[in-house]
Structure 1
Amino acid sequence: MKISTSQLLNELRTMTQDHMQYAEKLLGQPDEKLNSRVSNDSWSILECLEHLNRYGNFYIPEINKRISSSQTSSTPVFETGNLGNYFAKSMLPKEKMNKMKTFKNMDPINSQLDKNVVKEFIKQQNQLIELLQRADQINLNKVKTSISISKSIKLRLGDTFRFVIYHNKRHLQQAERVLINL
């Protein structure tokens, strides 16, 4: 897939701003509701956000490090890599969501959580927006990042942004379904 770099970054910024606005609305919900589950093996709203925060704890510093050390200049077109495009697309929410097994260290089930999880998520979304703005100046095709499951696998920065932000979208929709079904 080829896309204008500025179009991609603008779309990802808009999605991230939407995610932040949704999280800000969650701050108005009582803790009991945010910690409620639809079933024993499902995640609560706070567990969905805590899962995203754990991924953000890896990806935000990784992206920052790669942008900071980049010597490249921007290019008008971003072209996805095969693996990066596969990972990013697999995160996009679908009508019938496919369940995915999460890694144990990223699974927040049965954690003691409060609204600080939401505040941390909002902070991370602000950091992502800042990184997306800084990414305007570099080549999203040439700058590569490690991924959370293997330091040896590298994705193009544009694909890493897509993966992280689509993953956020996926789990925010999961949180929304929890809120609706409580």
Structure 2
Amino acid sequence: MKISSYQLIVDLKNITQENLQSAENLLQKSDHELNCRMSQESWSTLECFEHLNRYGNFYIPEINQRILSSQTSSKQIFTSGILGNYFAKSMLPNEKVNKMKTFNSMNPIHSQLNKNVIIEFIKQQEQMLELLENAKNIDLNKTKTAISISSLIKLKLGDTFRFVIYHNLRHVQQAKRVLTNL
């Protein structure tokens, strides 16, 4: 995938702002509604957001550190890496829900949660918008980040942003489906 670095950041900011708005709207719901699940094995709305917060706790500091230490300047075109493109595309929500197994450390099922989970997600999305703004000044191709499953694998910053933001989108949509189907 090749795209203007500027356009990629604009697109990712738009998705992040939509995720942020969706989360803010959920603050009007009761803790009881937000903790309901469709089955014993499925996640509640709050568990979807807790899952995202756990990933945010890894990726936001990682991205921030890489941006701060980057010695590169902005490049016009972002070209996705093979692995990064695969990971990012696999996170995009689609018509047919493709379930994925999550790591135990990232699985919040049966946690005791309240709206503070959504408030934390909102803070993380505001941080993500700042990181996207800061990333306008660096090369999204040459700046690399570690990933949560292995410090040995590095992705281009542009692919890391795509992965994290598409992952957020996927689970925000899942959280909305849970409320719709109750």
Q: TM-score range by the shorter chain?
A: over 0.9
Q: Deviations over 1:154-177 (max 9, x none)?
A: 000000000000000000111111
| Corresponding position of 1:13 | 13
Q: 1:121 is matched with which residue?
A: 121
Give how far 1:98 is off. Answer: 0.9
* Deviation digits for residues 86-113 of structure 1 (CA, Å, limit 9, x no counterpart): 0000000010111100000000000000
Is residue 96 from structure 1 mapped to residue 87 from structure 2 by the alignment?
no
Distance 2:94 2:26 in 1: 23
Aligned to 2:66: 66
Q: CA deviation at 1:22?
A: 0.4
In structure 2, the gaps of 5 or more residues are none
Q: Show the counterpart of 2:76.
A: 76
- The 3-state SS of whatever aligns with 2:74 is coil
Q: Which runs of 5+ in 1 are unaligned?
A: none
RMSD of aligned Cα (Å): 0.3
Q: For the residues of structure 2 that align with 1:144 and 1:69, how far apart are their CA atoms?
A: 11
SS at match of 1:40: coil
SS state of the match for residue 99, structure 1? coil
Letter in 2 for 1:158: G
Q: Identify the residue that residue 181 of structure 1 maps to in structure 2.
A: 181
SS for the counterpart of 2:56 is helix
Q: How does 1:22-33 map to 2 (within 5 A)?
A: 22-33=22-33
Q: Distance in 1 between matches of 2:138 and 2:40?
A: 45
The 3-state SS of whatever aligns with 2:110 is: coil
Q: How much does 1:118 deviate?
A: 0.2
Q: What secondary structure, in the 3-state scheme, does the structure 2 residue paired with 1:145 have? A: strand
* Structure 1 moving runs of 4+ over 4 Å: none
Secondary structure of the residue that 1:165 maps to in structure 2? helix
What residue is the counterpart of 1:164 in the other structure? 164
Distance across 2 between alignment mates of 1:11 and 1:110: 34
- % identity of equivalent residues: 68
Give the aligned partner of residue 85 of structure 2.
Answer: 85
For the pair 1:150 / 2:153, whether they are aligned, the reply is no
Aligned-partner residue type, residue 63 of structure 1: I
For residues 119 and 176 of structure 1, the distance between their equivalents in structure 2, rounded to whole angstroms, comes to 16
